[in-house]
Amino acid sequence: MTDWKEISAQQANEKINTEEVIVIDIRDADSYAGGHIPDAIQLTDTNAKEFFAEADKDKPVIIYCYHGISSQGAASYLTGQGFKEVYSMAGGFESWRFTFPCEP
């Protein structure tokens, strides 16, 4: 049993539009620059320490990667860091792009 939940891109979008959530992108800088979920924070090795020190661990967190695999491990890590409500987005950003096409 996991301490985080998996949600679809549609469910993530509903949460983003109805709740105050933290959205985390764990893809590389070029992928992030090429398109990301609005207001997503790109979490990297260089800003992780600051993020963990300053983030509100009581806010729901939605984390995504390319295809939804790496974000599962990251979601587990976040719950281990004290985040109370963590979601990994199934299918990652590719699912988001398919569901909500980004403007070029």
Whether residue 1 has pLDDT greater than 80? no
Q: Is residue 104 assigned to a domain?
A: no
65: annotated active-site residue: yes
Please write the tens of the pLDDT for every residue from 7-49: 999 999 999 999 999 999 999 999 999 999 999 999 999 999 9
Instruction: List % helix, strand, coil for the chain (3-state, nearest 5).
Output: 40, 15, 45
CATH of residue 56's domain is 3.40.250.10
* Residue from 23, 37, 63, 65 carrying the catalytic annotation: 65
Give the burial class of 103: count Cβ atoms within 10 A of its Cβ; 0-12 exposed, 13-18 middle, 19 or more buried. Answer: exposed
* Structural domains in the chain (count): 1
